[in-house]
Structure 1
């Protein structure tokens, strides 16, 4: 019984970390633009600086929600890997 309870707790913890849908995907921002691969790459590269600034300035975000989905995410991941990926 304890083993089942422990497994259930672990499953609930992992399920609570799942990302929700991006309802702003494929929508344009106020300027009519949608962020793509290269903007994702740039946002990933400047992530450390953007994160620190976002702690003190509410108008700065580290991730653009008005993006085209997979290509933006891939660029963002690649940019983060370039800067933070050790090795």
Structure 2
């Protein structure tokens, strides 16, 4: 009984996370020429870039990068999010690799 509840809870949480991440992707009409995306939208769009790429395969108006943006500040936020997200993953993998490697060398 507890395992079923736990599985249901995990499924509901995954659904909520997916809905949240897909609610504000670039090209969804939230940002327009009169209301362009700024720095914080750039950060958000950088975090959801992999999800935007997958959605963009099926919905052609969805893009990885918002075309209606304020320029340099949006770019800075976007690249900070992309680099920190993917760079953080590789750094954590490297640390684990180094610790396993150092144990084998002892």
- Coarse TM-score class (shorter-chain normalised): 0.5 to 0.7
**How far apart are the structure 2 equivalents of 1:39 and 1:77?**
12
Deviation at 1:82, TM superposition (A): 2.2
Q: How does 1:38-53 map to 2 (within 5 A)?
A: 38-53=40-55
Q: Which has the higher contact order (CA 8 A, sep 6+)?
A: 1
Match of 2:32 among 25, 29, 33: 29
Structure 2 residue 62 is matched with structure 1 residue 60: yes
> Which structure 1 segments of 5+ residues have no match?
1-27
**How far apart are the structure 2 equivalents of 1:55 and 1:84?**
21
CA RMSD of aligned residues (A): 1.6
> Which structure 2 segments of 5+ residues have no match?
1-30, 92-106
Corresponding residue for residue 19 of structure 2: none
Deviation at 1:37, TM superposition (A): 0.3
Greater helix fraction, Structure 1 or Structure 2: 2
TM-score between both structures, scaled by the size of structure 1: 0.61
**How far apart are the structure 1 equivalents of 2:35 and 2:62?**
18
Please say which structure displays the higher CA radius of gyration.
2
Aligned residues: 59
TM-score between both structures, scaled by the size of structure 2: 0.51
